[in-house]
Chain A
Amino acid sequence: MNERKIIEEKIFKLLTGIATYSLIAILGYIIAIIFINGFNSLSLDMITKTPSGGYYYGGEGGVLNAIVGSLYIALGATFIAIIIGVPAALFINVHLIRYKRTQNTIRYLLDALWGIPSIVYGAFGFAFMLYLGMNASLLAGIITVALLITPIIIRTFDEVLSTIPKGLHEASLAMGSTKTETAFKVLFRQGFSGFITAVLLGFGRGIGDAASVLFTAGYTDLIPKYLDEPAATLPLAIFFQLTSPIPEVRERAYAAAAILTIIILIISLSARLLSRNYSKSNIK
């Protein structure tokens, strides 16, 4: 190596290193800000109590209503998105394997759906809800969020399925498995880690999204018991409290943000562990 190349190498290593580590630093900074600002309000009450009468003026209570509401909506929406998304992703990779152009068109459309801002889904969900004569409710929120995250789940899972070697697909068919057996017993298993990633991404997007639930799920201090009751969500709890002029309430907004972050972290970690155990037997 001549001298110029050595210098080039050093500079490039430095630049890429700075880019990588500054990103991690920024992420750490964001989390730190949230926890520092919310630390004083992070109490057991926050996660075990619903707001009392004077909560929004700094009174007693917590955001249990929003925690439960967010979990209900994100779990419900993820469930619906899996039911639609898994067969769709498998269909694209098994039945449409001959039709490259159709595959690509569908992928393009799904990418477009992925890119639509969530407020547009919120507006659509709102119109759809009115059309059906429903009120802002848990169900309307679940449906809207499901619409938002289904393309994410399909495309993420599909991306992993499409990297499965064609030889494995052929081997399964050559044994005389049907396409359905190939899809569920071979491709699904082989792409299981992709399925987990897909569910995680979808769930994370669903639980953290404010715009799609703003008009459709409504807001309430109560924990919803039925699907037709409105539900509070953590992103909206953060939004409402952060706009308050009272410092204690603003502090609670950060505490709610910290809780949301922790929920996502817990789910992300457990899903990763699950997928690691499952994908041990995968072929590379």
Chain B
Amino acid sequence: MNAQNLQLMDTQTANLQSLQMKKQPSILQIKDLNVYAEKQHILKNISLNIPKNKITVLLGPSGCGKTTLLKSLNKLTDLYRELRVSGQIFIEEDDILKTNTNAPLIRQKMGLLSQKPFPLPVSIYKNVAYGIKLKGVKNKDLIDYNVEKKLREVGLWDEVKDRLHKSADSLSIGQQQRLCLARGLAVKPRIILADEPTSALDPVSSKIIENLFRELKKHYTIILVTHILRQAQRLADNVVFMHYGEIIEQGSPEKLFKTPKSVQLREYLVEGN
């Protein structure tokens, strides 16, 4: 019965995907992505289209492979030798997983926001300026202008404009997370990869980040990993539910949360609420 169910699910997934392909232009296509660790099969045949200028939420219990999926997208899996990655990930016709791709260039198309903010060990100003300089900008005035612009984009400018040259360490965790976002945006990415970006933050800071995401999706595509059901409900345009390395269901939050088709999602919704 399991095999039958799985098959059914596969066709459902395929149908959903084709529907989505027609509806929304996608920016990122993942085809048959498999990731193996030494003995584990972490991601199993992941195929997914990420719609442009939408918030796609990767939802699922801990250890279901959400973070690994996110790390595969910007080749951070390269840092772990034990991870073997196969399949294809296309961003604007370039296959990210091809061995000869220029990793820094690919990564500049995606900004990463991790669970815990990691500001660079320099001043607030230099954190953002670093990203701008990576794009080859050398003109001091242009850098100044862009630092302000990016800090305004994340709503941090008014809070830090008087202490731009203080250490980034002096900021609160929530401010640091927004600084990291500004730093990521300075590289002019197309996509923002957010890996449980509010998990270390207090409710107020979390709310600020969530509101920012709503603003930012006008210009960027956001892929948000979360295990917080309510956050997914609040933010998602498109939800991808993962369980043990597989995509179980995907679709609009209204549809998924009101009429979950799979047992796993139903259980998850019950426990999560």
Contacts and interface: CB of A to CB of B under 8 A. Distances in A.
Nearest to B112: A174
Contacts, number: 86
A190 B167 CA distance: 12
Nearest to B183: A175
Interface in B104-154: 104-108, 110-112, 114-116, 118-123, 130-131, 134
A178 B108 CA distance: 11
A284 B134 CA distance: 25
Contacts of A97: 79
Contacts of B169: 281-284
A245 interface: no
B67 to A, nearest CB: 11
B81 A167 contact: no
Interface in A131-175: 165-175
B253 to A, nearest CB: 27
Nearest to A98: B81
Nearest to A94: B79
A189 B79 CA distance: 21
Contact of A189 (B108, B118, B121): B121
Interface string B160-190: 0000000111000000000010011001000
Interface in B83-122: 103-108, 110-112, 114-116, 118-122
A281 B122 contact: yes
B76 interface: yes
15 contacts: A99-B81, A166-B79, A171-B120, A171-B180, A173-B76, A173-B104, A174-B107, A174-B112, A174-B193, A175-B184, A177-B134, A185-B130, A280-B167, A282-B167, A283-B121
Interface of A: 97-100, 165-178, 181, 185-186, 189-190, 280-284
